[in-house]
């Protein structure tokens, strides 16, 4: 085993670990069906496990063993807190800051697509009226997305913007599902608001 340990290398989420024809995805890795490539889903050491001689499938399994110091990692279905960095016509991107109650220690990017903002009237979603850069949102991880980004959803009542700054620089107060109000100016801004409590 010592020989294998010497050859270990650190990988980060989205790093290519190999082609599906050559390796199987183990823990900490996932297969992207569209290009049949195996990627790392977390930061850690890459370990290649040889197949058992009796196995009909002679591909080795590649695993990524997470390093405790790397903090939390977004996983399918986990609820994350993210800061919106950019809002475009069809999607918003955000930096994931926490997974559940735990802070992340490395940069994970989340993408909220237009169809994942809310559960109703999906075709009428205006991204610029749902989020603004700097907003703090609560979202759930829909999928691991492409190499460097996680697809996030805010399509449940308790998901969406949890904290937002108004144009005047004050922390706004939610007054409905779609509106937040600046306590300084009384100005109302539209957002996809997360229901608090409950």
Q: Each residue of 53-73: pLDDT tens digit?
A: 888 889 999 988 866 555 678
Model confidence at 160: pLDDT above 60: yes
| Rounded distance between C-alpha atoms, residue 95 and residue 83, angstroms | 5
CA dist 41 and 61 (Å) reads 15
Above pLDDT 90, what percent of the chain?
A: 54
Distance CA 123, CA 131 (A): 16
Domains plus CATH for the chain? 2-70 (2.40.50.100), 79-190 (2.40.50.140)
Query: Can you tell me the distance from the alpha carbon of 158 to that of 169, in angstroms, rounded to the nearest whole number?
Result: 25
Cβ neighbors of 3 (< 8 A, separation 6 or more) are none
**pLDDT, averaged across the chain:** 86
User: Does residue 13 carry a pLDDT above 90?
Assistant: no
Q: What is the pTM of this model?
A: 0.65
What's the pLDDT tens digit per position in 80-96? 999 999 999 999 999 99
């Amino acid at each position: 085993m010592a020989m294998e340990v010497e050859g270990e290398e650190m990988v980060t989420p989205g790093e290519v670990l190999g082609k599906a024809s050559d390796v199987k995805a183990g823990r900490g890795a996932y297969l992207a069906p569209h290009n049949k490539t195996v990627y790392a889903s977390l930061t850690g050491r890459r370990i290649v496990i040889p197949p058992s001689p009796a196995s009909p499938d002679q591909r080795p399994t590649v695993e990524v063993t997470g390093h405790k110091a790397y903090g939390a990692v977004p996983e399918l279905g986990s609820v994350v807190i993210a800061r919106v960095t950019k809002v475009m016509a069809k999607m918003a991107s955000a930096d994931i800051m926490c997974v559940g109650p735990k802070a992340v220690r490395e940069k994970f990017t989340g993408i909220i697509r237009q169809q994942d903002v809310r559960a109703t009237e999906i075709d009428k979603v205006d991204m610029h009226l749902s989020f603004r850069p700097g907003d703090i949102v609560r979202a759930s991880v829909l999928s691991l997305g492409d190499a460097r980004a996680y697809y996030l959803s805010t399509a449940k009542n308790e998901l969406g913007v949890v904290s937002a700054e108004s144009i005047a620089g004050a922390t706004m107060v939610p007054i409905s599902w779609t509106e937040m109000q600046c306590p300084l100016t009384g100005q109302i801004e539209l957002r996809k608001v997360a229901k608090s409590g409950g």
